[in-house]
A and B are shown apart, each in its own frame.
Chain A
Amino acid sequence: MTEPLIAVDNLVVEYPAKGLRRDPFRALKGVSVDIRPGETVGLVGESGSGKTTLGRAILGLAPVTSGSIRFKGKEIGSLHRRERRALSSEIQVVFQDPYSSLNPSLTIEQTLTEPLTVQKMPKQDATARVRNLLDQVKLPRDALSRLPREFSGGQRQRIAIARALALSPEFIVCDEPVSALDLSTQARVLDLFKEIQDTTGVAYLFISHDLAVVRNISHRVAVMYRGEIVEYGEGDQVTTNPADPYTQRLLLAAPVPDPVRQEGRRNERRAFLAAQAAAS
């Protein structure tokens, strides 16, 4: 068994509620996840389930109330900003919204060189590295001098991936990176993620609300519901033959793109819901 790259143990995240004597909002209620080097763990759940909060906690963007987050055995749950910055070359992020994750007034080259210059890389090396990154995400070289608004959603997401890859991190949090994309673009960007993983050995925490997307890219899948992980296991098993009732409901709710089989699934779902209602 490989030593996990990231080990989240019994993590609790609370956001203070507005007003005195109000109970804080508990976004994560004791979550445990481990991710090995070069592995993709898919995190699936509906809005408000806490999946984004888990990603942000690993990135140091959400407050850790209790529990631990260890990266290569070292506790990173509550680091100071300065210590946190040292981790930037190892843990990176790709966000969902390709429209607000790139600064509209910086050129692509400025966006991509920023993490490199922060690490004091000489300008010449940084320029070479940025060109290399564009090749890696399959964007044309002349993209460098342009502004984000000149690109489509899929291309912007490629730029965001290039930025995440700039420092050759070992781990990337991917927060719904394909949800805002069109169907065919989505498939191509997922292929790009897999290809990058195969060549660089980077590990992903891949957050999505879409079971089909998570199934496509993940080795293992965790299902979140109301701040807790209700099911965690091999991707194929969780996404085709789930054990937890919530995961079952999630799977049956996703419509199959085939009128005949969807009718079958619809009936299956109704029977399942009726059985659940009868049981409770």
Chain B
Amino acid sequence: MSEAAVSSGALAPDISSDIRAARSHLARRFLKNTLGIAALAVLVLIVLAAIFAPLLTSYDPNAVSVLNILQGPGAGHLLGTDGAGRDVWARLLFGARFTLAGALLATVVAAVLGITSGLVAGYYGKWFESVSSWVTTLLMALPGIVVLLAARAVLGPSLWSVMIIFGVLLAPAFYRLVYAAVSGVRNELFVDAARVSGVSDFRIIARHILTVVRAPIILQASIVFGIAIAVQVGLDFLGFGDQTIPTWGNILNDGFTNLYRDPQLVIWPGLAIVITGVALTLFANALRDELEHSARPSRRRRAAVATAAAEPVPPVSNTIVHDEPDTATEAPLLHIEGLAVGYPQPDGSVTRVVDNVSLNIGRGEVHGLIGESGSGKTQTAWSVLRLLPSGGEVLEGSIQFDGEDLSKVPSAKMQDIRGGRIAYIPQEPMSNLDPSFTIGSQLTEPMRIKLGVSKAEARARALQLLGQVGIPNPERTFASYPHELSGGMAQRVLIAGAVSCEPDLVIADEPTTALDVTIQAEILDLLRDLQQELGVTILIVTHNFGVVADLCDQVSVMQKGRIVETGPARSLFANPQHPYTRSLFDAILDESPARGPYAEVLPR
């Protein structure tokens, strides 16, 4: 304890600086984006020029001088003077103040209205959700420019009132974004956990929900800001704005009136508008790029990525092979030799998730590939199917299937083998059925393509298969859609699909993990019966020793991308030799004693 106290004192400064570092993670990456940082620099320059306008020019932007009409650039006037003899440079600088402030006003109004209503509607739902969605739809249906022109007619040419109204019209842009994000986050467990921790609703919204949506809000704000500038300039250019103040639109309007007498006058406001617009767009794009990079890694594929901080595991050594009781004389159906699978990283290195894996699976054998998450078992199975996630590739080794190297056959040939000679049973039955087609059409289509049978023949065979996999009413299931089935039924359908094209090898990836234990038992029975009936070879990937014990003849244990122990199931279960295999067996709870009865504790 004392040692811990000492070390904690020493660590304290590091920790606080680390927290800041984690918070500025996005900012730091953004700083590495050259285009984004350049756009940001331009925007900052423009804002600074607007703020310090009086320091950058000595002219009054509204000082009319009849003597100095339409003077070219140079002399006393940096960019010359306009049709009323006003200094163009001064008007541009002070114009930036009005133009940017107007656009900012519209953006703030839109953001405040849209974000608050989006947060409330997304978090609480109920009647507010219906009303705000209705209002949003109405606002979006209104033609913006027409509303603004009507408002001008009623309220007079005021930049601020027009921008406030435009802000209201733009509020749905924020509302929809925030509402979608919040209603996605609302049911996340960390929000529930915060509620159980006694955190008030206000704090949950501010801390847990706003942090998740803040980045897209910044992105949306820069887009809305750009739109506000464009609309404001457009109105002023058309002469509907307040002519008494310098805005970029008014300057452009004046330049346009004098187009034939002094064409360069339209260039300066035009440049200011274009540069600001382009900078805003590039800034928003750069921000979006960085945001998408930081998106959460998908949960399903996390096995593919080497975990940053894995729990400790014993060191890896060579494969331990249990001797076969009678060595098979026949050549194995699947012979994997020295397989290595890797994912190239952006920095040029390759993350190896499977390394030097060799595996023999004889005809009619049920082979279990067992391991924990990240052990490479699923990667091995996927490389046999040649369905590695994008970026993954077989680096070394061969996959001999019935005398053919699957890692080398052309993809068209592989297309034939997959689904035909090698079938696949996935882990999550529901997500592997297309919700918009009936079970029947999803079962018959592969048969018609792979076996070339007629529609009627395929239908008859599908019905027979559905009966074979234990579906009580094949006709009804044939005509139903995936959502009408339970998880166990859906898995039966997928098993029927897998064996429909008379495969030699079935690869089952955690086929019972997503199912309840009573359903799991039924599916295991079904797989065993089908295997015996059809004599098919099965490679089953699982983390469950019970499943292996129930079904498998042979078993291989994987750890960190290698096979550490392999052999007949009975021999391996009776006498596990590798320390890792033993540690797994020790962790099995089925064998552990029950907790025992409750002993009364003294109240605290």
Decide whether A and B assemble into one complex: yes
Contact B203 A118 (CB under 8 A): yes
What's the least CB distance linking B210 to chain A, in Å?
Answer: 10
| Cβ 8 A contact of A249, one of B518, B596, B601, B604 | B518
Q: How far is the CB of A28 from chain B (nearest CB, A)?
A: 18
- Per-residue 0/1 for A126-150: is the Cβ within 8 Å of any B Cβ (1 yes, 0 no)? 0000010001000001101111011
Residue of B nearest to A269 (CB): B521
Tell me the bound Cα distance from A192 to B196 in angstroms.
22
Among B21, B487, B584, B589, residue most surrounded by chain A Cβ atoms (within 10 Å): B589
Could you tell me if B15 and A149 are in contact, using CB atoms closer than 8 angstroms?
no
Q: Is the CB of B601 within 8 A of A38?
A: yes
Q: B197 contacts A115, CB within 8 Å?
A: yes
User: Which B residues form the contact surface with A (CB < 8 A)?
Assistant: 4, 7-8, 11, 14-16, 18-19, 21-23, 188-190, 192-201, 203, 207-208, 211-212, 296-297, 299, 307-311, 313, 372-373, 487, 516-518, 520-521, 524-525, 543-550, 552, 569-570, 573, 583-592, 594-598, 600-604
Partner of A91, one of B4, B196, B520, B603: B196
1/0 per residue A251-264: CB within 8 Å of B?
01111111111100
Contact A255 B594 (CB under 8 A): no
Q: Mark A14-43, 1 if CB is under 8 A from B, else 0.
A: 000000000000000000000011111000
Q: Is the CB of B589 within 8 A of A107?
A: no
Contact between B311 and A234 (Cβ–Cβ < 8 Å)? no
Leading 4 A-B pairs by shortest Cβ distance: A88-B198, A255-B546, A145-B18, A257-B545
- Tell whether A280 is near chain B: CB-to-CB under 8 Å: no
Name the residue in B22, B208, B596 with the highest tally of chain A Cβ atoms < 10 Å from its Cβ: B22
Given contacts A46-B518, A47-B487, A184-B311, 10 further A-B contacts (CB under 8 A): A39-B598, A46-B516, A99-B299, A100-B188, A183-B588, A201-B601, A213-B589, A219-B595, A260-B570, A266-B525
For chain A residues 30-86, which have a beta carbon within 8 Å of chain B? 36-40, 46-47, 59-61, 81, 85-86
Cα A87 to Cα B516 with chains together (Å): 34
Cβ of B549 and Cβ of A215 under 8 Å apart?
Answer: no
A185-204 vs B, Cβ < 8 Å mask (1 yes, 0 no): 11110100010000001000
| 20 residue pairs from A and B, CB less than 8 Å apart | A59-B192, A61-B196, A85-B200, A87-B198, A103-B211, A109-B15, A141-B11, A142-B14, A145-B16, A163-B197, A170-B604, A187-B587, A188-B311, A215-B589, A240-B594, A249-B518, A255-B544, A259-B550, A261-B549, A266-B525
- Docked complex Cα distance between A154 and B313 (Å): 13
Query: Do A155 and B309 contact each other (CB < 8 Å), given the known contacts A145-B15, A255-B524?
Result: yes
Give the docked Cα–Cα distance between A59 and B604 (Å): 22
Query: Nearest CB to that of B547 among chain A residues?
Result: A255
When distances are taken between beta carbons in the complex, the residues of chain B under 8 Å from A166 are: 197
In the assembled complex, A104 has its CB within 8 A of some CB on chain B:
yes
Contact call B601/A37, Cβ cutoff below 8 A: yes
Contact B517 A149 (CB under 8 A): no
Q: Would you give the shortest CB distance from A136 to chain B, in whole angstroms?
A: 12
In the bound complex, do residue A107 and residue B598 qualify as a contact, i.e. CB atoms below 8 Å apart? no
* Docked complex Cα distance between A170 and B601 (Å): 12
Q: Is A250 an interface residue (CB 8 A)?
A: yes
Question: Are B516 and A209 neighbours in the complex by a CB distance under 8 Å?
Answer: yes
Question: B549 contacts A152, CB within 8 Å?
Answer: no
Is A93 at the interface (CB under 8 A from chain B)? yes
- A135 and B197 contact, CB distance less than 8 A: no
- Is A10 on the interface with B (CB-CB < 8 A)? no
Does the CB pair A118–B198 fall under 8 Å? yes
Interface residues of A (CB under 8 A from B): 2, 36-40, 46-47, 59-61, 81, 85-89, 91-93, 95-97, 99-107, 109-110, 114-115, 118-119, 131, 135, 141-142, 144-147, 149-155, 160, 163, 166-167, 170, 182-188, 190, 194, 201, 209-213, 215-220, 234-236, 239-240, 249-250, 252-262, 266, 269
* C-alpha spacing A119/B313, complex, angstroms: 39
A114–B524 contact, CB under 8 A? no
CA distance A47 to B196 in the complex (A): 23
Contacts of B189 in A (CB 8 A): 95-97, 100-101
A155 B311 Cβ-Cβ under 8 A? yes
Interface centre among B7, B203, B594, B600 (most CB of A within 10 A): B594
A257-B211 CB under 8 A given contacts A91-B196, A107-B22, A220-B598: no
Known: A36-B598, A187-B587, A212-B589. A253 touches B518 (CB 8 A): yes
Main secondary structure of the interface of B (DSSP, over half): helix
Measured CB to CB, the nearest residue on chain A to B15 is A145
Q: Which residue of A lies closest to B518 (CB)?
A: A253
Interface pair A142/B15, CB less than 8 Å apart: yes
Establish whether residues B373 and A153, one from each chain, have CB atoms under 8 Å apart when the complex forms. yes
Assuming A182-B372, A212-B589, is B549 touching A256 (CB within 8 A)? Answer: yes
Query: Which residues on A sit within 8 Å (CB–CB) of B310?
Result: 152
Q: Is the CB of B193 within 8 A of A163?
A: yes
* Nearest A residue (CB) for B592: A216
Instruction: Determine whether the beta carbon of B201 is less than 8 Å from that of A40.
Output: no
CA A186 to CA B587, docked complex, whole Å: 8
* Chain B residue at minimal CB-CB distance from A254: B517
A99 to nearest B CB, angstroms? Answer: 5
Q: Which residues of A contact B188 (CB under 8 A)?
A: 100
Contact of B201 among A81, A110, A255 (CB under 8 A): A81
CB atoms of A235 and B594 under 8 A apart: yes
Choose one: A47, A91, A187, A256; the contact of B546 (CB below 8 Å): A256
Decide: A105 near B212, CB < 8 A? Known: A160-B193, A257-B549: yes
For the complex, give the distance between the alpha carbons of A235 and B596 in Å: 7
Residues of A within 8 A of B604 (CB): 37, 170, 201
**B594 to A236, Cβ gap below 8 A?**
yes
A39-B598, A145-B22, A153-B373 given; A185·B311 CB < 8 A? yes
**What is the distance, in angstroms, from B336's C-beta to the closest C-beta of chain A?**
24
A-side contacts of B211, CB under 8 Å: 103, 105-106
Q: How far is the CB of A43 from chain B (nearest CB, A)?
A: 14
Question: A85 vs B47: C-alpha distance in the bound complex, in angstroms?
Answer: 46
Q: Which of A38, A147, A209, A255 has the most CB of B within 10 A?
A: A255
Contact partners of B516 in chain A: CB under 8 A: 46-47, 209
Closest residue of A by beta carbon distance from B590: A212
A272 CB to nearest chain B CB (Å): 11
Residues of A within 8 A of B520 (CB): 253, 255
Cα of A71 to Cα of B71 in the assembled complex, Å: 86
- Determine the chain B residues whose CB is within 8 A of the CB of A260 once the complex forms: 570
Task: List chain B residues, Cβ under 8 A from A209.
Answer: 516-517
> Chain B nearest CB: distance from A26 CB in Å?
19
B603 and chain A: residue at smallest CB distance: A37
Q: Please report the C-alpha to C-alpha distance between residue A103 and residue B518 in the assembled complex, in whole angstroms.
A: 34
Are A152 and B311 in touch, CB under 8 angstroms?
Answer: yes
**Closest residue of chain A to B12, judged by CB?**
A127
For residue B309, give the distance in angstroms from its CB to the closest CB of chain A: 6
Contact A115 B372 (CB under 8 A): no
Chain B positions within 8 Å of A40 at CB level: 595
Q: What residues of A have a CB within 8 angstroms of the CB of B207 in the complex?
A: 106, 114
List of A residues within 8 angstroms of B548 by Cβ: 257
Residue pair B192, A257 in contact (C-beta under 8 Å): no
Q: Which of B21, B211, B595, B597 has the most CB of A within 10 A?
A: B595
Residues of the A chain whose Cβ atoms lie less than 8 Å from the Cβ of B14: 142, 145
Contact between A259 and B372 (Cβ–Cβ < 8 Å)? no
Q: Could you say which residues of chain A place their CB within 8 Å of the CB of B372?
A: 182-185
Return the chain A residue nearest B370 by Cβ. Answer: A183
Query: Would A257 and B597 count as touching, CB distance under 8 A?
Result: no
Shortest Cβ distance from residue B408 to the other chain A in the assembled complex, whole angstroms: 34
Residue of B nearest to A155 (CB): B309
Residue in chain A with minimal CB distance to B551: A255
Query: In the assembled complex, how far is the CB of residue A142 from the closest CB belonging to chain B, in whole angstroms?
Result: 7
A236–B552 alpha-carbon span in the complex (Å): 30
Bound CA–CA A166/B55 (angstroms):
56
Please determine whether A266 and B550 come into contact, CB atoms closer than 8 angstroms. yes
